[in-house]
Amino acid sequence: MVPPQAQISQKMRFTVPVSLFFVGGFWAIVLLSCAAGLTSGTRFFYTPLAFVVGVVLFVRFPAAYLVHLWWLWFLTPFVRRVVDFKSGWTEFSPIMLAPYVVSLLMIVTVIRFLPRLSQRDMFPFVPIIVALAMAYPVGMMNAGFSPATFDALNWFLPVIMGIHIAFSWRSYDKLKIATERTFLMGAAVLGIYGIHQFFFLAPWDAFWMQVVQMDSIGRPAPMEVRIFGTLNSPGPYANMLAVALLIVLGAKGRLPFLAGMPAVVALLLSLVRAAWVGFAAGLLIMIAKMDMSKRAKLIAAVLLTLVTALPLLSVEAINKTVTTRIESMFGDEAKDDQSYKDRVHFFQTFIEDALSNPIGQGIGATGVATKISNNGKMGEHGVVDSGLLEVPFVLGWLGGILYLSGVAMLVRGTFKRRWSKGDGFVTVAESVALSILVQMIFTNMLTGFIGTMFWSFIGFSIAAERHWAAASRSQPEVQPR
């Protein structure tokens, strides 16, 4: 027997007003201060205020805490760009620490339930944590304390978020609904901003492109930029939209389709082919895991979403930009594509470096962390075009085996769920996680913001199984919705 909708609404009766009051209030203060020209103050109060709000929500309102954290990941780079544009560029902005310090609160959950990591469904996290713990001191020796510590946040915190959600299974319904609504709203907000960015590049976005000199995302001019929305680069932006679209297709009601239209167009305008491949893989996984009636509804939802997006996709500037990028993925044009050539060259030259050091280079040897030890400029291994090679390069042979074996066990577990098979959100969550994982051949998808999405939806898969198993014991007639 399906629980009445009223019961679900009752579970959410506090979450929505609390989210509006605390999360909405936080963003109202931030945006109003920026609009009033008080950006110098915003630079210093943004992260402390985000942390204070996070503490209150973490202690009393777990679903609203998750809403707060997701929006910090979605919008913090945008706030940083506006502040830097109005108050002067800073290479290392304290604003960017906000989602990290708020995420640190979830360590409380790990400490609280540490002995329970030995449980069968949670044990795969153990070799992952061990691998990262081994790589951190190696990173401190090779890269230095500051780069290693900063990068440790990118590696550890997403994993901790997955553990936190898994152990929060008693609040599964509230966390699920809060996350679904946040990503639906995020798809609309970030999608619309990205389309606006393509046609009318904001001065703070153009300023940021000029300062960071990231030539791979085009020129700082309208219709000549690979859009990055409110994030710092097209990759994370495109993956957020891809995740949101999978959630859109698995959700019910009118809002998903309204959110899906700008998200589809913005995803295509990001020109991130890896995210396109990941979304397609996630969609196929969703279809494969559904029964015939749900498959028909999903296919209808896909077609309806595409139809609603057609008016925007038919705009000449959008159509030309997207078509050119799609053509570069096939035939001779794919082989002549400079990005393809650069990636092949990288594989040929980097594979020996990745596999030649048994203990690895340690955390802090790759990514943005290299800026800390290189006077604000990206280091030699700042960009690693393969997640599969970055893992052994950073973690070494033993660490890489432990880390990847833990990931493999978690993914394998998603195919062995018993109690939560009928829960549509679980199908979406597992499809999201696997759609991100297939992109590891292109770049490391398990760290930073993108990693947060992978590990959190793995956590949702575990939490759902525990939730429905407990429900079946207390009420045998209750089945997943």
* Model pLDDT for residues 197-243, shown as the tens digit of each residue: 999 999 999 999 998 887 788 889 999 999 999 999 999 999 999 99
Instruction: Select from 72, 81, 75, 453 the least CA-distant residue to 240.
Output: 453
Residue holding tokens 């829960």? 423
Secondary structure (3-state) at 320: helix
C-beta separation of 228 from 248 below 8 A: no
Instruction: Select from 76, 56, 52 the least CA-distant residue to 64.
Output: 56
Q: What is the CA radius of gyration of the chain?
A: 22
pLDDT for 5: 47
- Mean pLDDT (the chain) is 87
C-beta separation of 178 from 15 below 8 A: yes
pLDDT class of 419 with cuts at 50, 70, 90: confident
Torsions phi, psi of 435, nearest 5? Answer: -65, -30
What are the beta bridge partners of residue 357? none
Q: pTM (2 decimals)?
A: 0.91
* Residue 210: count of CB within 10 angstroms of its CB: 12
DSSP string, 367-422: GGGGGTTTTTS--TTS--S-HHHHHHHHHHHHHHHHHHHHHHHHHHHHTT-STTTT
pLDDT for 368: 82
Q: Give the ranges where 200-291 is alpha helix by DSSP (H).
A: 203-212, 234-250, 255-269, 273-289
Q: Give the ranges where 144-215 is alpha helix by DSSP (H).
A: 145-167, 172-199, 203-212
pLDDT class of 409 with cuts at 50, 70, 90: very high
Torsions phi, psi of 353, nearest 5? Answer: -60, -40
pLDDT digits (tens, 9 = 90+) for 424-453: 899 999 999 999 999 998 889 999 999 999
How far apart are the C-alpha atoms of 270 and 234, rounded to whole Å? Answer: 6
Secondary structure (3-state) at 48: helix
pLDDT for 341: 65
Q: Can you say how many angstroms the Cα of residue 163 is from the centroid of all Cα atoms in its chain?
A: 16
Alpha-carbon distances of 38 from 29, 31, 43, 83, 85, rounded to whole Å: 11, 10, 9, 9, 12
DSSP state of 446: S
pLDDT for 269: 92
C-beta separation of 460 from 176 below 8 A: yes
pLDDT class of 330 with cuts at 50, 70, 90: low
Least-confidence region, from 150-154, 328-332, 375-379: 328-332
Least-confidence region, from 150-164, 171-185, 269-283, 354-368: 354-368
Q: Directed axis angle between helix 424-437 and helix 448-474, to 10°? A: 150
How far apart are the C-alpha atoms of 125 and 458, rounded to whole Å? Answer: 11
Asked whether the predicted pLDDT for residue 8 surpasses 80, the reply is no
pLDDT for 1: 41
